[in-house]
């Protein structure tokens, strides 16, 4: 399948309906994904990005539906990660003399992935390559998503190809945002931002400010995953700007696991306390919930209350991965607290609080823990704990 974005500009990528785990098993892709590659026909021929390696031949067949692949002059590698550069080895066997256009960091990382000495051309922000009628202009975009990342803009057609930025893992038989369910698209876009781009929010703000100052027309934003923004394309740029500010909806997530329901009962009582103060909350048992979906909810909320029973002086293993994520993702403007049941020494609450502090999540109050199963009086204290958290959170 190929799709024309504008005259002479084609999507020649691949839809991967069945990938449900991305980055190894780090990121859940319930709705699959696409690897978007764009073919530009001018006096010179350019391909912007490729696809993940196993799909190289499918991409090459798509290109062949439009032109002889050997006519490609330039291959733009906006980003070295293998879901976009993975098609290079198969492609470059067919066009060994083509120029591979990379950022300065891409010049370091792409050869380290493929150990091939292709004809590289390094570009930096503001550099351009004329294709004939129109030109490609490059903008470095470090950390969106890797240090090597860059955006490519096609003059004349006003198409921005920003690679991972503004994308989402979303497989579809349609290519454009005006052809699909907007709610589903935004669910995946915010998940992508929350789980991948959050730590780089300050860079996102700076990059968008820089881009707006260029005052260039943008008719289409064509990222490397998911749908292409054709209807009101700048809507996703404005959303990124909003997401990067770290605003929240004032609600709370309670994240926990439980062995014999004692910690769960405590969590339910804490939730009652939140409710009494009119604070909305969501409740996630990490033994059965998807980590990336929960992190997306964390991204939207102000409060994070985490519970685990003690296990071997530590925490249940189901809780540990999301604590690692919180440390790495560095969500802005969050507050937190800890709770849990214990049997002997009870270091569980202290471990959670230490993680919250490392994640720069302000601990609003001393955690609450009770031995074995909580009594009626202890559960009342958990309700009060929830109330106090809600009051402090509103004041924070």
Q: Find all residues with CB under 8 Å of 225, minimum gap 6, and list them.
A: 33, 34, 35, 36, 83, 164, 167, 168, 169, 170, 192
- Write the CA distances from 340 to 76, 126, 167, 257, 327, integer angstroms: 52, 54, 38, 9, 20
Measured distance CA(206)–CA(340) in Å, rounded: 41
From residue 105 to residue 144, the character string flagging contacts with ligand FEO as x (rule: CB under 6 A) and all else as - is ----------------------------------------
Nearest to ligand FEO of 83, 188 (CB atom) = 83
Nearest to ligand FEO of 79, 265 (CB atom) = 79
Question: Is position 325 an interface residue for ligand FEO (rule: CB under 6 A)?
Answer: no
Nearest to ligand FEO of 84, 230 (CB atom) = 84
Nearest to ligand FEO of 34, 341 (CB atom) = 34
Nearest to 330 by CA among 290, 297, 357: 357
Nearest to 146 by CA among 191, 199, 72, 87: 199
Neighbours of 136 (CB within 10 A): 23
Q: Find all residues with CB under 8 Å of 15, minimum gap 6, and list them.
A: 1, 32, 34, 171, 172, 173
Region of 32 please: left (phi>0), alpha (psi -120 to 50) or beta. left
Question: Is position 148 an interface residue for ligand FEO (rule: CB under 6 A)?
Answer: no
Shortest distance (Å) from residue 282 CB to ligand FEO = 28
For 51-99, the DSSP string reads --GGGHHHHHHHHHTTS-GGG--EEE-S--SHHHHTTHHHHHHH-TTSE
Nearest to 253 by CA among 298, 307, 193: 298
- Quick one: how many helices (H) and strands (E) in the chain? 12, 24
Measured distance CA(272)–CA(386) in Å, rounded: 7
Question: Is position 145 an interface residue for ligand FEO (rule: CB under 6 A)?
Answer: yes
Nearest to ligand FEO of 34, 355 (CB atom) = 34
Measured distance CA(128)–CA(138) in Å, rounded: 6
Shortest distance (Å) from residue 57 CB to ligand FEO = 20
# of chain residues touching ligand FEO (CB under 6 A): 9
Question: Is position 169 an interface residue for ligand FEO (rule: CB under 6 A)?
Answer: no
Nearest to ligand FEO of 62, 224 (CB atom) = 224
Shortest distance (Å) from residue 4 CB to ligand FEO = 23
Shortest distance (Å) from residue 50 CB to ligand FEO = 12
Shortest distance (Å) from residue 23 CB to ligand FEO = 8
Nearest to ligand FEO of 163, 296 (CB atom) = 163
Shortest distance (Å) from residue 78 CB to ligand FEO = 10
Shortest distance (Å) from residue 105 CB to ligand FEO = 13
8 Å CB contact between 278 and 394: no
Nearest to ligand FEO of 114, 146 (CB atom) = 146
Measured distance CA(102)–CA(120) in Å, rounded: 7
Q: Write out the two tokens for 341.
A: 């049941």
Shortest distance (Å) from residue 77 CB to ligand FEO = 12
From residue 25 to residue 64, the character string flagging contacts with ligand FEO as x (rule: CB under 6 A) and all else as - is ----------------------------------------
Shortest distance (Å) from residue 197 CB to ligand FEO = 10
Question: Considering only residues 164, 264, 325, 378, which one is a binding residue for ligand FEO as defined by CB under 6 A?
Answer: 164
Which 68-97 positions form the footprint of ligand FEO (CB under 6 A)? 79, 81, 83-84
Region of 9 please: left (phi>0), alpha (psi -120 to 50) or beta. beta
Q: Give the CB-nearest residue to ligand FEO.
A: 81
Question: Is position 157 an interface residue for ligand FEO (rule: CB under 6 A)?
Answer: no
8 Å CB contact between 213 and 205: no
Q: Which residues bind ligand FEO (CB under 6 A)?
A: 79, 81, 83-84, 145-146, 164, 224-225
């Amino acid at each position: 399948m190929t799709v024309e974005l504008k005259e002479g500009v084609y999507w020649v990528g691949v839809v991967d309906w069945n990938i449900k785990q991305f980055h190894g098993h780090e990121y859940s892709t319930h709705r699959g994904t696409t690897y978007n590659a764009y073919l530009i026909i001018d006096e010179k021929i350019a391909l912007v990005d490729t696809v993940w390696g196993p799909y190289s031949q499918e991409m090459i067949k798509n290109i062949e539906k439009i032109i002889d692949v050997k006519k490609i002059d330039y291959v733009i590698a906006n980003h070295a990660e293998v879901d976009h550069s993975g098609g290079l080895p198969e492609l470059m066997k067919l066009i060994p003399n083509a120029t591979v256009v990379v950022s300065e960091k891409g010049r370091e990382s792409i050869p380290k992935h493929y150990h091939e000495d292709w004809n590289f051309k390094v570009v930096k922000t503001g550099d351009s390559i004329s294709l004939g009628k129109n030109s490609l202009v490059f903008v470095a975009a470090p950390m969106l998503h890797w240090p090597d990342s860059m955006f490519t803009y096609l003059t004349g057609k006003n198409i921005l190809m920003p690679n991972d930025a503004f994308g989402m893992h979303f497989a579809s038989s349609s290519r454009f945002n005006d052809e699909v369910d907007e709610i589903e698209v935004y669910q995946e876009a915010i998940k992508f931002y929350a789980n991948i781009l959050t730590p780089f929010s300050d860079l996102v703000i700076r990059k968008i400010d820089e881009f707006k100052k260029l005052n260039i027309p943008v008719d289409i934003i064509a990222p490397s995953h998911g749908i292409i923004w054709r209807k009101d394309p700048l809507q996703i740029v404005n959303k990124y700007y909003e997401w990067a500010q770290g605003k929240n909806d004032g609600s709370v997530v309670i994240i926990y696991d439980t062995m014999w329901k004692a910690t769960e009962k405590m969590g339910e009582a804490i939730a009652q306390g939140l409710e009494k103060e009119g604070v909305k909350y969501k409740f996630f048992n990490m033994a059965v919930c998807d980590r990336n979906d929960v992190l997306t909810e964390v991204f939207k909320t102000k409060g994070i209350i985490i519970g685990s029973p003690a296990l071997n002086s530590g925490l249940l293993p189901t809780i540990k991965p999301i604590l690692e994520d919180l440390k790495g993702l560095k969500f802005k403007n969050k507050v937190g607290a800890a709770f849990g049941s214990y049997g002997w020494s009870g270091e569980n609450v202290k471990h959670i609080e230490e993680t919250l502090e490392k994640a720069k999540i302000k601990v609003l109050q001393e955690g609450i823990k009770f031995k074995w199963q909580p009594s009626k009086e202890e559960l009342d204290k958990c309700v009060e704990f929830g109330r106090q958290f809600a009051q402090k959170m509103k004041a924070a």
